[in-house]
Structure 1
Amino acid sequence: MCENHNQFVHLHCHSEFSLLDGLSRVNDLVARAAELDQPAIALTDHGAMYGTMPFYRAAKAAGVKPIIGVETYLAQRTMQDKDPQLDKTRFHMLLLAENQVGYLNLLQIASASQLD
């Protein structure tokens, strides 16, 4: 366990915006990171970025660096080509934005995943 909390950064956090998976409210996640004097925290909800702006605003207000991310689902086929026998196993990949270009890329990926 990390005894020096201000050296630790959570890079995989789900919020209430991770439907059926996350429980924590964005403001509570940020408040706890600030309380523990952690320099940053990442929001990586499942397959969507609905909580990005509330998270960003809360983190900035609390003096905590917001790291924007998303936990994606990797699929071998499109939704139209699914094979129940071959597509039983799900794979996840965590993506974090390094800068504004990365953030825009994450938005495109998350949006495309809702359509395909």
Structure 2
Amino acid sequence: MPFTHLHVHTEFSLLDGASRIKELIKTTKELGMDSIAITDHGAMYGVIDFYKEAKKQGVKPIIGCEVYVAPGARQEHR
């Protein structure tokens, strides 16, 4: 059965991710998966490297970002 990880944090998710992009893509291929997502916390710094490396290794890149939303302005305190 095909499987794709859709919630993956890389080294660009400070304090939460440890995966390095090149090794992440390599492991994805080794496990027989043909696609993988990147969903770092509030940052998209790694998406270009991720996209290029995935394409280079024959893996379909899925680009995302884990973001948080709240009503009102960040300066408001309830």
SS of corresponding position for 2:64 = strand
Partner of 1:49: 44
Equivalent-residue separation in structure 1 for 2:72 and 2:26 (angstroms): 40
Match of 1:18 among 13, 16, 20: 13
The structure with the largest helix share of the pair is 1
Give 1:34-113 correspondences, 5 Å limit. Answer: 34-81=29-76, 83=77, 86=78
Query: What is the CA distance between 1:29 and its match in structure 2?
Result: 1.1
* TM-superposition CA deviations, 1:21-63 (whole Å, max 9, x none): 1111111111110111201000000001000001001100110
- Aligned length, in residue pairs: 78
Larger Rg: 1
Equivalent-residue separation in structure 1 for 2:16 and 2:70 (angstroms): 19
Partner of 1:29: 24
Q: Percent identity?
A: 54
The structure with the largest strand share of the pair is 1
Q: Which runs of 5+ in 1 are unaligned?
A: 87-116
Query: What TM-score, normalized to structure 2?
Result: 0.92
User: What is the aligned-residue RMSD (CA, Å)?
Assistant: 1.1
